[in-house]
């Protein structure tokens, strides 16, 4: 029961954390966009300044500067993309991020708990739970690195890293629970 309670509270906490992080990102973008608005003469100077960093002369940049500064929205988009290097977040990103994180936490935490619901013997359930968790950690770590790097060696390294991190996290929890359990006698 304690595990299920933690699972639900962790799901809510992680989901809300991801939601709030995405909202903060959206608000930061809007704030930077408001500060980026300036007078037309300043716009032209800023576009020239940005393009000069790429070795584009003022004469070559003049038609582009005229085109970009003719429309305030285009100018802001250019400024955000090339000067501030901030990408506009998707409109529904906060909700999607919150739901994805919350549900991922729940499913990821529920899988190792399933043996406890199916088996009567707690020790057998623990062994099955550990085995299932090891397989999932290895699989996730391998796929994560293989997809990112496209290399089997990187996949194997990712599997090992993920397993070590999982073992350290589980070991820490185990030591804490055992320490608290000893204190109650």
- Enter the pTM of the model: 0.68
- Alpha-carbon distance 119 to 7, whole Å? 20
* Cβ neighbours of 180 (radius 10 Å): 9
Neighbours of 5 (CB within 10 A): 9
Give residue-wise pLDDT tens across range 23-57.
999 998 888 877 776 667 787 788 888 889 889 99
Q: What is the mean pLDDT of the chain?
A: 89
DSSP H helices, 37-151, are 40-52, 58-69, 72-78, 93-110, 114-118, 122-149
Distance CA 119, CA 134 (A): 19
Handedness of CA 136, 121, 167, 11 (dihedral sign): positive
CA-CA distance, 110 to 100, in Å (whole number)? 15
Q: Which residue, among 174, 124, 166, has the nearest Cα to 144 in the 3D structure?
A: 166
Structure token pair of residue 13:
């906490």
- Span 115-135, average pLDDT: 94
pLDDT at 4 over 90: no
H or E segment and range at residue 154: helix 152-183
Question: Residue 55 region, left (φ>0) first, then alpha (ψ -120 to 50), else beta?
Answer: left
Considering only 54-58, 82-86, 127-131, which range has the smallest mean pLDDT? 82-86
């Amino acid at each position: 029961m304690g595990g299920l309670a933690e699972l639900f509270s962790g799901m809510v906490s992680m989901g809300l954390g991801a939601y709030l992080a995405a909202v903060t990102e959206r608000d930061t973008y809007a704030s930077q966009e408001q500060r980026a608005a300036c007078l037309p003469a300043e716009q032209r100077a800023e576009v020239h300044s940005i393009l000069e960093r790429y070795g584009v002369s003022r004469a070559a940049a003049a038609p582009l500067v005229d085109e970009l500064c003719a429309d305030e929205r285009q100018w802001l988009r250019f400024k955000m993309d090339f000067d501030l290097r901030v990408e506009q977040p998707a409109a529904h990103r906060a909700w999607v991020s919150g739901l994805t994180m919350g549900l991922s936490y729940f499913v990821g935490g529920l899988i190792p708990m399933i043996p406890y619901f199916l088996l009567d013997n707690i020790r057998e359930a623990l062994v099955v739970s550990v085995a299932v968790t090891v397989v999932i950690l290895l699989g996730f770590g391998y796929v994560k690195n293989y997809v990112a790097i496209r290399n089997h060696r990187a996949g194997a390294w990712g599997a090992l890293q993920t397993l070590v991190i999982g073992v350290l996290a589980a070991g820490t929890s185990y030591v804490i629970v055992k320490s608290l359990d000893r204190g109650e006698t």
